């Protein structure tokens, strides 16, 4: 399995997003994903499915320690006491003593960032989460957050896919050792009909979505280990993304040049 390491966190590179999953469907999808080999699950207070995510985790039979679970605090809980209370409520819904990563879901200019980050750091020191981070933060907000946070921030989760390059945000994350966690990684399904990714995929008997995923794995390995990682990258791409065991990757695909958001 491929991991991203950032400020002390070791995050499985490919995760399951649970936005818009509800009720028993959500629990079943989480259970099946874990049985299939996913080890990183992403939920949030505002998705209203933390209870079902916890149910799916338990039903999978996968050891808790082997799962990396993220949840996110919604903006109406950013005042310090509200944050702590809301995280405890999340844990009660999940029926877990802690999560692996707790994020501020979206910036909220109505509450001083210093106060919210103080409460987030306190949640980490209380053992409610192993790591903390942010989501949807701009470059300026990343700089402020890194300067103000009492505990290391491990990631900024932002929209990132072949049509949205996020070069400035990526550079700011790199500078401070934060992982960039991509949401909407297949552009909410838009890449299904992308001609370039389809052509790359055809050459390797892959779908456009698989081509995009292989491109991220390539980037992660090349960035973390340097060019000599390419053979490991090919192995990882085969094992985690292949739709057919007999298909071989002759050459890793590269993303098309971004066309803008």
Ligand X SMILES: NC(=O)c1ccc[n+]([C@@H]2O[C@H](COP(=O)([O-])OP(=O)(O)OC[C@H]3O[C@@H](n4cnc5c(N)ncnc54)[C@H](OP(=O)(O)O)[C@@H]3O)[C@@H](O)[C@H]2O)c1
Residues catalogued as catalytic: 47
Closest contact distance (angstroms) between CB of 102 and ligand X is: 13
Nearer to ligand X, 3 or 74 (CB): 74
Binding site residues, ligand X, CB under 6 A: 17-19, 42, 105, 135-136, 157, 183-189, 192, 207, 209
**Residue 4 and residue 21: Cα distance in Å, rounded?**
26
Name the one residue in this structure whose structure tokens are 């991220």.
216
Closest contact distance (angstroms) between CB of 225 and ligand X is: 26
Nearer to ligand X, 62 or 69 (CB): 69
At how many degrees (to 10) do helices 23-36 and 50-60 cross? Answer: 40
Nearer to ligand X, 230 or 238 (CB): 238
Instruction: Report the candidate in 130, 127, 67, 137 with the shortest Cα–Cα distance to residue 104.
Output: 137
Closest contact distance (angstroms) between CB of 28 and ligand X is: 15
For ligand X, which residue has the nearest CB?
A: 17
**Residue 102 and residue 260: Cα distance in Å, rounded?**
30
Name the one residue in this structure whose structure tokens are 């109505």.
110
Closest contact distance (angstroms) between CB of 229 and ligand X is: 25
Nearer to ligand X, 30 or 62 (CB): 30
Q: Which residues contact 88 (CB under 8 A, 6 or more apart)?
A: 128
Report the Cα 84 to chain-centroid distance in Å.
22
Neighbour-count burial for 151-173, b at 16+ CB within 10 Å, e otherwise: bbbbbbbbbbbbbbbbeebbebb
Closest contact distance (angstroms) between CB of 48 and ligand X is: 13
Nearer to ligand X, 149 or 157 (CB): 157
3-state SS class at 193: helix
**Residue 31 and residue 117: Cα distance in Å, rounded?**
32
């Amino acid at each position: 399995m491929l991991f991203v390491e950032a400020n002390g966190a070791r995050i499985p590179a490919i995760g399951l997003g649970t936005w818009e999953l509800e009720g028993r469907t959500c629990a079943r999808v989480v259970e099946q994903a874990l049985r299939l080999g996913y080890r990183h699950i992403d939920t949030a207070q505002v998705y209203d499915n933390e209870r079902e995510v916890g149910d799916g985790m338990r039903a999978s039979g996968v050891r808790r320690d082997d799962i990396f679970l993220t949840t996110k605090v919604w903006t109406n809980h950013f005042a310090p006491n509200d944050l702590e209370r809301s995280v405890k409520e999340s844990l009660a819904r999940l029926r877990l003593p802690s999560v692996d990563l707790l994020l501020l879901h979206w910036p909220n200019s109505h509450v001083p960032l210093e106060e919210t980050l103080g409460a987030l750091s306190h949640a980490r020191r209380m053992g409610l989460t192993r790591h903390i981070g942010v989501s949807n933060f701009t470059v300026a907000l990343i700089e402020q957050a890194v300067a103000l946070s009492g505990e290391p921030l491990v990631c900024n989760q932002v929209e990132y896919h072949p049509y949205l390059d996020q070069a400035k945000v990526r550079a700011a994350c790199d500078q401070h050792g934060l992982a960039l966690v991509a949401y909407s990684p297949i552009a909410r399904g838009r890449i299904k009909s992308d001609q370039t990714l389809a052509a790359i995929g055809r050459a390797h008997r892959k779908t456009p979505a698989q081509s995009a995923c292989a491109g991220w794995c390539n980037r992660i390995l090349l960035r973390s280990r340097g060019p000599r990682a390419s053979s490991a990258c090919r192995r990882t791409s085969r094992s985690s993304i292949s739709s057919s065991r007999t298909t071989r990757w002759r050459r890793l695909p590269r993303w098309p040049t971004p066309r803008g958001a």
